[in-house]
Structure 1
Amino acid sequence: MNLISLQMKTSENFEENLEHLKKLILQCEDNSIILAPEIALSGFCYDRMQEASTFALKAIPQLQELAINKTIALTIITKENDKYFNTLYIFNNQKIIHNQSKVQLFPLGNELEHFHAGNEEDIKIIEIDGLKIATLICFELRFPKLWQKVLGADIVLNPAMWGLKRKDHYETISKSLALVNQCFVIASNSANDNMAKGSAIISPFGNVYKDDNKEILSQKVDLEEIKKVRKYINIGLDK
């Protein structure tokens, strides 16, 4: 199994962002779980929300088509009943198998003024090919009560646009989640100039693979590590 974090920049050109994302996905090996940064296709384009949500409808089937022998996850701007959401989509076997909208909006980034919060009930563990997978979106990483929602997952995804000034926070909390939950974590943060990067693949033992200079962070992992750490350091998560 390959775990892949895409550490890409997001420009103001939605079409270019999509084409670049597709190019990166095509470079990824089969049998991979691929995570892109938070709203990588558009960024927080508060003056273009309608345009971004319309573009997302065009992007979804194109990304869905690429999900052959690969699982692809990312968040996009969606619109429902005249309300905008930051919504995660997971594609597998060319199908949409899960979506959830960001529950904890970041107040310092004006998200509360432009997005509506999703339902906390949608943060849950799903199963893909026998693997238990869950997602916390960016700022949600800071909330202990949400860690309880993903407790027991084999892999936790965290798509983010996490600011440069809090880089150490992002890297520390991501590693802590892997250690406390005894799982793999895929952290995928934006590579924009004002963002922290810090994307990583983190093992249940807390081993961190990261490189702020790469767009594709890929690690072939041994999923038996999950059983090993939960057996030898038993905190009640052993299957």
Structure 2
Amino acid sequence: MVAHSQKLKTAIIQSPLFWEDPLGNRDMFQKKIASIPDEVDLIILPEMFTTGFTMEPQNIEHAEGKATVAWMQRLAKQKQAALVGSMVYYEDNRYFNRLFFVFPEGDIRTYDKKHTFSLAGEDLVYEAGTQKLILEYKGFKICPMICYDLRFPVWARNVEDYDVLIYVANWPKPRVSAWDTLLQARAIENMVYSIGANRIGLDNLEYEYSGHSAVYDTLGKKVVYSDKEEILYATLDKKHIETTRNKLRFLEDRDQFTLLG
């Protein structure tokens, strides 16, 4: 059996987005991805990275979702790195805020946003997901989620012994202190690396985004953080997870429960 690496090198692309412009955003992100060192294992993009947080998905061509997935597969193969991010996706006459985790060989796993953001009316135009996603990549068990999911700790509760929790987001500046606090809390309570990938800049609705993309370790210590346009790099260490959990066996005392819906 081939031993997995004990480290996972990650890159978070914190960037402004072109409003409802999938081609423009793909071109922009392709240039940024090209600058990422080859040793990076996982590249993380924001929520709805091809459009911004639009509540008018009918403005986006139905074929754009599949085109973006093919683009992600091509870049993942070129970089030999996994890519993850969410997009407007049309399927079966419905719209989804769907996250794609694309492996270097082109395989994909998907997650539909469970908690659609009712304050903005996301629940009225996007179909909510019902299934949590746990996947394995390079020896790490990863749980990817989307933005508003961050406010719901029961949904993210680590009952699967996963190692990494990822939130891709369009989280606005007025509530960014909640983003900072909850990202750190999810790391501490679940004894995982908690990663937040947010956008920056103004969107066409005049909402401002201040970034604060970050990585927190299993004790809630900040590994990396930024409030400007840049690519953030962080190396996740499996030994850190195992050592902390063996020393502080908090997960052994977690509550047992079953989600009903």
Query: TM-score w.r.t. structure 2 length?
Result: 0.84
Structure 1 alignment gaps of length 5 or more: none
Contact 2:99 / 2:110 at 8 angstroms: preserved in 1?
yes
Residue 206 of structure 1 corresponds to which residue in structure 2?
A: 220
Is the aligned partner of 1:139 residue 2:148?
yes
Letter in 2 for 1:224: K
Say yes or no: does 1:215 pair with 2:230.
Answer: yes
1:8 aligned onto 2:39: no
Match status 1:45 vs 2:54? yes
- Whole-Å Cα distance in 2 between the matches of residues 220 and 51 of structure 1? 36
CA distance in 1, matches of 2:133, 2:69: 22
Residues 83/148 of structure 1: CA separation in 2 closer, same or farther (3 Å cut): same
In the TM superposition, residue 101 of structure 1 has moved relative to its aligned partner by 0.6
TM-superposition CA deviations, 1:162-191 (whole Å, max 9, x none): 111110000110011111111112210111
Give a deviation string over 1:190-215, Cα, whole Å, max 9, x none.
11231241101211122211011242
Larger helix proportion of the pair: 1
| Bigger shift: residues 49-58 or 128-137 | 49-58
Q: Does structure 1 retain, via aligned residues, the 8 Å contact 2:190–2:251?
A: no
- Structure 1 residue 224 corresponds to structure 2 residue 224: no
Take 1:205 and 1:46, find their aligned partners in 2: how far apart are those partners? 37
Indicate the RMSD between aligned Cα atoms, in angstroms: 1.9
CA distance 1:169–1:56, change in 2 (3 Å): same
Matches for 1:73-112 after TM superposition, within 5 Å: 73-112=84-123
Answer yes or no: is the 8 Å Cα contact 1:89–1:96 preserved in 2. no
**1:21 equivalent in alignment to 2:29:** yes
Q: TM-score, normalised by structure 1?
A: 0.91
Determine the C-alpha separation between the residues in 2 that align with 1:197 and 1:52.
Answer: 28
1:237 deviation in Å? 5.6
- Gap regions ≥5 residues in structure 2: 1-7, 203-207, 254-261
2:185 equivalent in structure 1: 176
Q: State the 1:52 CA deviation.
A: 4.7
Q: 3-state DSSP class of the match of 1:221?
A: strand
Give the match for residue 233 of structure 1. 248
Corresponding residue number in structure 2 for 1:116: 127
AA paired with 2:26?
A: L
Check whether the contact 2:157–2:190 (CA below 8 A) recurs between aligned residues: no
DSSP 3-state at the match of 1:219: strand
> Which residue of structure 1 lines up, in the alignment, with residue 205 of structure 2?
none
